[in-house]
A and B are shown apart, each in its own frame.
Chain A
Amino acid sequence: MKAILTTGILAGLLALVVPMFADIHIYAVVTIVLISIMFGQAWNLLGGFTGQISFGHAMFFGLGAYVAMIGAVRGHMDMGLGLLLGGLSAGLYSIPIGALIFRLRGPYFALGSLALAEIMRIVAANWKSITNGGEGMPLSGVNTMFGIPISSKQEYFYMAVVLAALFSLFCSYLMKSKTGYSMIAIRENEESAQAMGIHTPRYKSSALFISAFLTGSAGAFFGYYNKFIDPDMVLSTHISTEMIFVTVIGGIGTIAGPIVGSAILVVLQEYLKGIPTLQTYPSLYLTIYGFLLMMVILYLPGGIVDGFKRLYRWFFAKTRHSGIGKEKTV
């Protein structure tokens, strides 16, 4: 209940406040933040909650994007159906992928997923008959969502708010279910989880499927919104690492993490792009991201969310000066 309330209020506030001062540029930035939240939550399910760090999630994002775009361009597919189909394709694709890479542990799993994503990118770039190769796929005309035409940046913004809220809520509820507990147990100690009756291969596959499905849907939405995709936009390691950045710097393994991470990082990126003296350094934001990631891992593994929690506790403890005894340390 609390989760629905919090998400509802945040989403509602966003939907009301932003249009009051937004122009096309601001809508674009906010929508990118929302898309980042979507794929951040998706990645987090596998990486943060189940403990399987994937460096190749772009393959799901891109697959969802291409399926949706091809459907729209060749079949005038409705966006509602496209989001579903994009997600489903990615989810189904994740099943054989999982069978392959879950044989690897930890770091090797990560690099294996990177390799698989790279294969998909190269194939997409070369399979011109289906994907139009490096030239990309443009989408013209107006898309419909369950029959309603969506065309302006503002309308896409509202769609993104709803989707990001739904994704976050879904993940929140999932993590409180038996599936969620099992995923976390696998992350903490896989052997122990097995001894407690958790069918670890099945739960890992399930986590991957759900994560892939959500990522694919996010990819589909990106395609519709951006009206253009190419292999470097949706299948590159850049997308995979972006998912990792917003989640880990924001706070891995928390629902708030991807939300906070996306907000701060995307806005930072936009801010840096806007400074005239820094125009000659287009990759500066990535240098900062990389540095931030290093600092977070070393000094604040729980991310910015954890940083806030600690600040809160420190502040709260200070004002609770009772002098009766030491605070209970366990």
Chain B
Amino acid sequence: MLQTLADGLLIGGIYAVIALGLTLIFGVMRVINMAHGEFVMIGMFVSYLLFSKLGVDPFVSILITVPACFVIGFFLYRLFVEKALRASEENTLLLTAGTSIFIANLMALPAFIGPKFLRLSSENLYWANKVWYVGGISLNAAMAAGFLVTGVIIFVLHLLLMKTDTGFAIRASAQDPTAATIMGVNVPFISGITFGLGAAFAGVAGNILSANYPIYAAIGTLFVVKAFVIVVLGGMGSIPGAAVGGLILGVTESFGSAYVPHGTGFRDVFGLVIFLLVLLFRPQGLFGKGH
């Protein structure tokens, strides 16, 4: 039972960092980034590419994924999303949906991931089948390391938001873009930075996941739905909400698969059911403001 909890927390941490990116983007720009899952997929692909061609460990290639996703995210926002936002929220939604489909299917071309799936081959992979034992519980090494990385990221994000000028600008833009502009914040630029950051977080999750999971071009949809469930559960725009929500989702899936009969087939449904319950009983989420 403790094992199930541990497994749940580990995957929950990864979910949390993906959701963190989404909630950050939402908090500042009120944009639901339908293409968010694709950044996870891009992270997985970068990891695969660097591992298979240059033997770089997936955790090391995070250093490449972060700037790559950041840049793609930044320009995606500035060139496309910003323009759609000026029209309407619905337009932005459709735009990011189109972007999601575009990127996912572009990556499905043989030049990239191709129509099937890729895996990091277990020979030469440090993380292959590696397990750490802590007090009688076995932890998947990559996931555990990923959990630690996630913790570091959340801490760094906290520092960034609270202690740096950029972070201050981000928080100001989130609270009131007009007031922030008057106070000298370049809101469009900051929004781009935030979008890039959100994308980068998703990419990091991709790197971590690539150590264990198969990589296929369409995997993005799975993650964006989970991330959305977490964001709704935790409260739109709430960072602690994303963190806690991620852990809750991870643990629920873990226990659900283990203890509910035929649970494994329904693994992905648990999150969706949580989503429905939140909608019914507390639509603002755990950390969101009440109506």
Residues of A within 8 A of B (CB): 51, 53, 55, 100-101, 103-104, 106-108, 110-112, 114-116, 118-119, 122-123, 125-126, 237, 241, 244, 248, 280-284, 286-287, 289-294, 297-298, 301
Tell me if B99 and A290 are in contact (CB < 8 A).
yes
* B228 interface hit (Cβ, 8 Å): yes
Measured CB to CB, the closest approach of chain B to A253, in angstroms, equals 11
- A107-B32, A290-B105 given. 11 additional CB < 8 A pairs? A106-B89, A107-B89, A115-B225, A122-B272, A248-B94, A283-B115, A291-B102, A293-B97, A293-B101, A297-B84, A301-B91
In whole Å, how far is B108's beta carbon from the nearest beta carbon of chain A?
A: 4
| Cα distance A55–B228 in the bound complex, in angstroms | 14
Q: A294 touching B32 by the CB < 8 A rule?
A: no
Which B residues are closer than 8 A to A by beta carbons?
31-32, 34, 80, 83-84, 87, 89-95, 97-106, 108-110, 115, 217, 221, 225, 228-229, 232, 236, 262, 265-266, 268-269, 272-273, 275-276, 279-280, 283
A111 CB to closest chain B CB (Å) equals 5
Are B279 and A103 within 8 A (Cβ)?
yes
Residues on the A chain within 8 Å of B101, using CB: 241, 286-287, 289-290, 293
Q: State the 7 A-B residue pairs at the shortest beta-carbon distance, nearest first.
A: A290-B102, A293-B98, A290-B101, A107-B32, A286-B105, A287-B105, A294-B98
Is A281 touching B225 in the complex (CB atoms < 8 A)?
no
Residues of chain A within 8 A (CB-CB) of B91 are 297, 301
Set of chain B residues within 8 Å of A115, measured between Cβ atoms: 225, 228-229, 272, 275-276
- CB contacts (< 8 Å) of B115 on chain A: these are 282-283
- Residue of B whose beta carbon sits closest to that of A119: B272
**Residues of A contacting B80 with CB < 8 Å?**
294, 298
Taking CB atoms, residues of chain B closer than 8 Å to A294 are 80, 95, 98-99, 102
Interchain CB contact (< 8 A) of A241 among B95, B97, B280: B97
Query: Please, which residues of chain A bring their CB within 8 A of the CB of B279?
Result: 100-101, 103-104, 112
**In the bound complex, CA of A291 to CA of B101 (Å):** 8
The docked-state distance in angstroms from the alpha carbon of A293 to that of B84 is 12
Q: Which among B31, B92, B93, B98 has the greatest number of chain A C-beta atoms within 10 A?
A: B98
**Contact status of A119 and B93, CB under 8 A, knowing A103-B283, A283-B109, A301-B87:** no
A122: contacting residue among B93, B110, B268, B283, CB under 8 A: B268
Enumerate chain A residues within 8 angstroms of B232, measured Cβ to Cβ: 108
Q: Which residues of B contact A106 (CB under 8 A)?
A: 89-90, 93
B90 proximity list for chain A (CB < 8 A): 51, 53, 106-107
Return the chain A residue nearest B30 by Cβ.
Answer: A107
Q: What would 27 A/B residue contacts be, using CB atoms closer than 8 Å?
A: A55-B97, A106-B93, A107-B31, A107-B92, A108-B32, A108-B236, A111-B34, A111-B228, A112-B275, A114-B225, A115-B276, A118-B225, A119-B276, A126-B266, A241-B97, A283-B105, A283-B115, A284-B109, A287-B101, A287-B109, A290-B98, A290-B99, A290-B103, A290-B105, A291-B98, A298-B80, A301-B91
- Residue ID in chain A nearest B79 by CB atoms: A298
Partner of B109, one of A123, A281, A290: A281
- The smallest C-beta distance from A133 to any residue of chain B, in angstroms, reads 9
How many angstroms between the C-alpha atoms of A324 and B99 in the bound complex? Answer: 47
For B102, give the chain A residue with the smallest CB separation. Answer: A290
User: Residues of B contacting A286 with CB < 8 Å?
Assistant: 101, 104-105, 108
Assuming the contacts A100-B280, A115-B225, asked whether A298 and B109 have C-beta atoms less than 8 A apart, the reply is: no
Task: Give Cα A125 to B265, complex, Å.
Answer: 9
Q: B residues within 8 A CB of A116?
A: 272, 276
